[in-house]
Structure 1
Amino acid sequence: MSVMNAAFDPLYGEAWTLEQTRSMLDLPGTYLVAGRVGDEMAGFGLIRSIAGEAELLLLGVLPSTRRKGFGRLILQRCIDVAARSGSDTMFLEVREGNEAIALYKGAYFEQYNCRPDYYVGRDGQRRSALSFKRAIQK
Structure 2
Amino acid sequence: MATRAVSLRTGDARDVATVDALMSAAFDPRFGEAWTRNQCLGVLAMPGVRLTIASVDEVPAGFAMVRSVADEAELLLLAVAPSYRRQGIGAALLRAVIAEAQGAGIADMHLEVRAGNAAVQLYEANGFSKVGERRGYYRGRGGEAFDAHTYLRNL
TM-score bin (small chain): over 0.9
TM-score by length of 2: 0.83
2:125 is the alignment partner of 1:118: no
Residue in structure 1 matching 2:73, options 32, 54, 57: 54
Compare 61-70 and 124-133 and name the one that shifted more.
124-133
CA RMSD of aligned residues (A): 1.2
Q: Which residue of 2 aligns with 1:132?
A: 151
Cα distance, 1:85–1:55 mapped onto 2, change above 3 Å: same
Q: 2:104 aligns with which of 82, 85, 92?
A: 85
Unaligned runs of 5+ in 2: 1-19
CA positional deviation for 1:22? 1.0
Matched, 1:72 2:101: no
Q: Distance in 2 between matches of 1:15 and 1:114?
A: 19
- TM-score of the two chains, using structure 1 as the length reference: 0.93
Secondary structure of 1:13's aligned partner: coil
How many residue pairs are counted as aligned between the two chains? 136
For residue 39 of structure 2, what is the amino acid of its counterpart?
Q
In 2, Cα distance between the equivalents of 1:50 and 1:117?
26
5+ residue gaps, structure 1 = none
Q: Which residue is 2:7 aligned to?
A: none
1:49 and 1:85 in contact (8 A); partners too: no
What SS does structure 2 have at the residue aligned with 1:87? Answer: coil
